[in-house]
A and B are shown apart, each in its own frame.
Chain A
Amino acid sequence: MSETINLTLKVWRQADAGSEGRFVIYDMQGVSTHMSFLEMMDVLNERLIKKGEEPVAFDHDCREGICGMCSMFINGRAHGPMDATTTCQLHMRHFKDGETVVVEPWRAGPFPVIKDLVVDRSSFDRIMQAGGFISVNTGNAPDANATPVPKADADEAFAAAACIGCGACVAACKNASAMLFVSAKVSQFALLPQGQVERTDRVQAMVRQHDLEGFGGCTNTGACEAECPKEISISHIARMNREYLFSIAKGDK
């Protein structure tokens, strides 16, 4: 494999939320195939600054695939062409010499563009604030081993809790639904004994906030699961739907 490749980048540039955006084409010569995608963006930015142009704004932080800060819709896919990979863990060896690479921000009403590839995901925080917690004050907890939890339930709860809140599920969904994100938290707590007390209120509060934020409904296309960098299963959406129906049937709120 060649050590460097040349690419044509088509990058979405938008000054701020109120401005019109457009694609700008950059000729990207001599990209090392060992670079991560974000390192390639770093190199682009260094070149732009030295030419007196403004660099491309993009969100990123841990660069280990866990903080959920990086986003980017690359060649029509959230986090790019590799499955189960965040953009920061995507490497340039997966691109071909001479390829044109289109880079866009997450596109969804509830994720307005702040600048270039940076979007506002504070709607996710508000959904969590509506009910994504177990009400226990510091210092009130019983001994951690007082309540055994079946390993299978704990493992399933962990698999749901692995969500990094990046928003790829929303970006991938034709309805801009955040059901995978919401269900991951609902499911985690529904599976654990500690989450039982607030089980019905929680699902209702979180779904209500999800709808208020303008996210769409789920039509079971499975795009979210396919693009989730942490491979969160849509079976959690099914569990959330059961939780929701159950909470309605119980007549709470």
Chain B
Amino acid sequence: MRIGVMVCHCGNNIAATVDVEAVAAAAREFPDVVFATDHMYACSDPGQKTLEQTIRDLKLDGVVVASCSPRMHEVTFRRAVERAGLNRYMFEMANIREHVAWISLDRKRNTQKATDLVRMAVEKLRVDRPLTPKSFDVQKRVLIVGGGVAGIQAALDCADGGLDVVLVERKSSIGGVMSKLDKTFPTVDCAVCVLGPKMVDAGQNPRIALHTCSEVEEVSGYVGNFEVRIKKHSTYVDWTKCTGCGACQEKCPSRKVPDAFNENVSLTTAIGIPFPQAIPKRASINAEYCLKLTKGKCGVCEKICPTGAIAYDMQDEFITEKVGAIIAATGIDLFDHKKCGEYGAGRYPDVVTSLAYERMLSASGPTAGHIKRPSDGTEPKTVVFISCVGSRDRSLNRPYCSGFCCMYTAKQAILTRDHIPDSRAYVFYMDIRANGKGYEEFVRRAQEEYGVEYVRGRVAQVYPQDGKLIVCGADTLLGRQVEVAADLVVLAVGAEAAHGAPELAEKLRISYDAYGFFMESHPKLRPVETNTVGVFLAGACQGPKDIPASVSQASAAAGKVLALLSKDKLESDPQIALVNANRCIGCGKCERTCPFGAIRMRELRDGSQRAEVVETVCQGCGICSVTCPVRAIQLQHFTDSQLLAEVNALCRTWDETTE
């Protein structure tokens, strides 16, 4: 075998603490190495050219590059060796930057360790075998989980690009948090007026199959060929017959149902349509409050429905969809303000969340756009906004900034002054985060044009006295305790991952952080990808985001999906498990241990069992390999003999250096 080695300086990144020439010189002495050199930037165009030329000139069979982490440039070098006519798996990379140069200043020992790593790579390369990827067909369909503004945008973009879209939404209508908003910052335009057309588009687009009141139950398969089981919750209304006329809602006698769409500011009926612009505009029954379903008597809606759509015996239904890619767009929930006992949240009716206040501001909301105190229906004259409720708070395990509260608070304060000209609005804040286009100007308008009083400090407590809410805070700029007798207190609650987000992440096999937000593949360079190929992220499920950012990310995710599914066939990674049928004893341990269901048992003619790897499903994790009691299942490119070659090389260098 003829092996070439290239040791990279990476400018000063490696060369400053590793004697790269010495490493190359040492490499020349390794078995089968016929050529070794160093290079200023191996990844640069000249670097790659040198590599390719050397392969051709010296008729090399394999190459080792000692440089940075394979996460950065493995793909680059594999392409280079392929261009020079080698199989791309006849290449090994030794990480002498992250694993050596950057972690120690000891030049002598660094050089020794770098040499060891190169020796290991050479020894592995000596037993490497060429591998060939296989190609497979893809489903040109995409599943989008979550029908908020991000999910809607991604669905529309994907459909525009010619893909069939399966849009799954937990609630009975798409629209998400944005559909609950009155106005949006910094333009103060009507939220539902801008979202509404998109919702209608999503509802009418023939390429988009809408499944509301639905949740993803199970995901199997792999990029290009996912199989998704979707649970469609019973709505007790046959939506093929329902026309959304609303007659049932008018007559329903169960009228004390907390209105979730209106953030429980008001009550609604057990059957109904959540809001006028709902898509699909179909009625559903809240089984918890329906008299027929809970007590067995009533049946008013059944009698009144002109199309006979009511179906009290409807059951949950499961459907299965095959898709090539998945976009998670599950958005956020709001921090549970009841955890803030010091503000009397949940105890004092006039302490409300920002989203409840948004519903009160909305013309289609429970108060028809008139701001009223929940306690007595009077118009508040002094409204206090408290920022960072459930944000930047380690004591509540919410250390992160939710990003958009400063802005919506400024908006709500402006709207308060708009709705009630003789009102006073106070905002208790710690810092103002207004780093979007036109955002800072918007906050300044609130302060200067609308006279909103910003007080720098947190509020320690709120208590009722003589019909007012006494807000006790600090003005840290003055260094004093301050107090406001408010009529209404609005808590700017922060964002948290939607409930059930971690469970969905497990189903999608993607990572999530300690707070349940989904992890992107790279925070800067792969912000909409996940570490599971074919699964993408859109919107606030990845981290708190405002509407513009959510929409941008949704379009980005759609672009990624369109690029992926523009190919008719995808290549499978050949670095997967392979069963040696002669060794396999059919014990089935690998099948039970595989987290991806990539192994199945096959019966031979003699009735004995053998394991078999489903190549497209296998992710190459190697768990089966270590589970197998007879070493019959091997991970290609990481076989026992290849790994042992590395270990042996390392032990040999140890023997040499310690003797």
Tell me whether A and B are bound partners.
no
Could you list which residues of chain B lie within 8 angstroms of chain A, going by C-beta atoms?
none
Could you list which residues of chain A lie within 8 angstroms of chain B, going by C-beta atoms?
none
